[in-house]
Structure 1
């Protein structure tokens, strides 16, 4: 085993434990494959595996902390002050092929999804229509995993064309998969999302802590904006908007909404609770100063000029606060529970879809102004009278700060990025494109797979 993680798959009345390590995530052993295949007899078994896939996403090495924190600390929103020695490597772009486990966690999640997707529903007991819906949910997760891998390891911002391996089976014939191109991975994502949307029945969507039918379109709009597929972004965003299932949270409830779960603006969120949480490895701990929080590591400090991007009456100012005797600007409003880190983490909010829609409309000569003002007017900010690309990117920054979007927005618009030292000092300016904008493939994967090509510079 290359690490101690395991996947708990609750199948029927028994648990099958699938060992997790770098190569196992891509290609589980034949014995594991047969073990899993022989244990799926009911649609309810698929539901248990689906919950397992969601659980992997809550890991601190994935959406529970690192993926979000990495994209903030490498941007103009935040930096690592090294208070506990965490995230200085990322803030200064000094990672190497031994840094982080995002690769492992994503392929672990997708191995669960692939079990569900490749199951023959006709052989199962139970509601087969619900089984088809679950398979659609698994396709959404696989698409999200591929997009996450592409954002981290793809060469699209490093001057290359390589993406990540596309793995569509739990146990396939290709034991040593090569990297597909960025374009191939993008098309695989779009295919999964459209297939999922077409096969899912929204009547089965009863919870926001599992991916639902319209998460497929919310994710499609996100991916399309990332790759500047503007027409697709318009259509996908409109599908979410026209569902009439979600709404922008009002100004009076904006700050308090972060302490609650399942708000009207939440499309999908990861579940944490008093009994199931990351404790000191939670996202809240890395944002808050230890003596003020009442607990935390406090490594992620907000850039001192961030407050300047907000209007005086903007309610989003309420998520900021000064800690450490008033010397350090902090995120204190998003993910506020530092006692145990029991806050749910929204991964898809309706406000992001509106911002995606506004940008796509701007790029296609549509009415971006109306959409952008849906956000500004519900935040106590000065309404826009006209719209520029910079306005849209700045509004995204104000609305989505601390949620892990900013680095990707800088990348997709071809901007330079500063590496920041522990004293908020600029160490170096990295011009676009740059090999440091793509993480290295983990060395364990390089050593185990002779077909795996490392990113340049590592």
Structure 2
């Protein structure tokens, strides 16, 4: 995906931006400024579909890369704090970025939600997947295997987008005993087929649809990628199973979570990074770490110019060019002195104004997202930690300890000698190993824990007690207004 020439997105105007989906009414795919092609024309052959699918993956990357979503789980959970402004009238002051002020204070507004564009983008992507599913079987120049691969990727992306939305807009699966609390509008038809105003499913039904889409997709995948570019940039059978393992974990379906993660660990052919190359792998420019299962590559022009990456959020270039987000001491102090993961932090001293006094303060930027990093969606380390947590749920503490120790041994951290308090151990290991990869706040909710942000918290609300309606965000008001069947989340 790094070297595709066309910057194609299925572009719809904003009729259903305001309903429940950011899907559209204009029925056009835009190739270049001033050039538009009808959906029927674009999707009449396989090359047109491949071209549009590349654009869909580009839209996924864009939706995930930018704050507030890219920082949401780690900021809300307490892994992140803010660096001082590098220049301007607020130079050297700690200022909460305006684009995340609502969610950071656990008081996001439905009328001006910080993640409204993310909500819209996900449903736009979902609409695109439905178009691919509707057109795939009629492609005159595609083989059966190619048609199945198109459908497999479309189903997976549809499930993935719905799952991402569920993490932000629905309470954790067992918030109610039977998961009967509000879930999502689960879209299985493009608005090209029919304009509807559906109600939200329950969380139980939402997850059932997600899992059905994924398992159907797994049985359709072929071994031949559809599109040129790095294979790690597109969903395949292995990365789809990684998504499924994560969904099962979120559902606390321990048996299926264990079996799916175990299948990936045993049969994917992907190996964990070693202790010796762990830091070097994260430091290498442009390429993902070797254990990546899926990384959404950054957009590049035909000349190779990068238009944006996660470095804009987390990177450090110079004393006047750096990202707004740095590791909190709440996270940094969890690592033992000899833990090699401590070397994944870049320490820089920056003058910081506090109570009108400027003081040199040390900040820890992450090395995970320097240079031109892509968005790390799935990697093998997570599967070990999924298997560990699932093993614990299956009353197999020895396996849980073994998997936790596999990750700790690589990090040169102290190994667990017994099976005491393993639930806390796996929670903390996920926090350390998967930091800044979008997990912490969801892990807190899944484990029904409280949020406690200490170091660097500049919000009026630095803690959140579970359960709370503020563990999820409001559905944007514009969507509520135009779909009378779409109910708002509690407290919004």
Is 1:446–2:480 an aligned residue pair? yes
Cα deviations across residues 269-326 of structure 1 (Å, max 9, x unaligned)?
01115646454xx43233356853x62242x232223222112211110112332436
In 2, Cα distance between the equivalents of 1:39 and 1:395?
47
In 2, Cα distance between the equivalents of 1:111 and 1:259?
37
In 2, Cα distance between the equivalents of 1:323 and 1:9?
37
Aligned match for 2:203, one of 182, 186, 191 = 182
Name 1:358's counterpart in structure 2: 388
CA shift at 1:328, angstroms?
3.8
Name 1:95's counterpart in structure 2: 108
Q: 1:203 to 1:290 in 2, by over 3 A?
A: closer
Aligned match for 2:13, one of 2, 9, 19 = 19
In 1, Cα distance between the equivalents of 2:483 and 2:235?
32
Aligned match for 2:77, one of 60, 75, 89 = 75
Cα deviations across residues 383-422 of structure 1 (Å, max 9, x unaligned)?
2223411111111111001111000000000011146796
Q: 1:28 to 1:17 in 2, by over 3 A?
A: closer
Cα deviations across residues 253-280 of structure 1 (Å, max 9, x unaligned)?
222222442433010001115646454x
Name 2:335's counterpart in structure 1: 310
The TM-score, its normalising length taken from structure 2, stands at 0.82
CA contact (8 A) 1:416 1:430 kept: yes
CA shift at 1:379, angstroms?
1.3
Is 1:114–2:130 an aligned residue pair? yes
The TM-score, its normalising length taken from structure 1, stands at 0.87
CA shift at 1:252, angstroms?
2.0
Name 2:311's counterpart in structure 1: 284
Name 2:33's counterpart in structure 1: none
In 2, Cα distance between the equivalents of 1:244 and 1:321?
33
Worse-matched range after superposition: 74-83 or 404-413: 74-83
- Runs (5+) with no aligned partner, structure 2: 1-5, 30-36, 83-93, 351-359
CA shift at 1:84, angstroms?
4.9
Q: 1:128 to 1:416 in 2, by over 3 A?
A: same
Query: Could you say what secondary structure the match of 1:427 adopts?
Result: coil
Is 1:200–2:221 an aligned residue pair? yes
CA shift at 1:146, angstroms?
0.6
Q: 1:273 to 1:315 in 2, by over 3 A?
A: farther
Query: Could you say what secondary structure the match of 1:62 adopts?
Result: helix
In 1, Cα distance between the equivalents of 2:457 and 2:464?
18
CA shift at 1:138, angstroms?
1.1
CA shift at 1:449, angstroms?
1.3
CA contact (8 A) 1:291 1:324 kept: no
Cα deviations across residues 126-157 of structure 1 (Å, max 9, x unaligned)?
33312211210111111110101101111348
Is 1:57–2:53 an aligned residue pair? no
CA contact (8 A) 1:89 1:95 kept: yes
Name 2:430's counterpart in structure 1: 396
Cα deviations across residues 95-143 of structure 1 (Å, max 9, x unaligned)?
1111221101111111111111222424421333122112101111111
CA shift at 1:196, angstroms?
0.4
Report the number of matched residues.
438
Q: Considering only aligned residues, what root-mean-square deviation do their CA atoms show, in Å?
A: 2.7
CA shift at 1:161, angstroms?
0.6
Is 1:165–2:190 an aligned residue pair? no
Name 1:3's counterpart in structure 2: none
Aligned match for 2:403, one of 371, 378, 381 = 371
Give matches, 1:321-332, under 5 Å: 321-325=346-350, 327-332=361-366
- Runs (5+) with no aligned partner, structure 1: 1-7
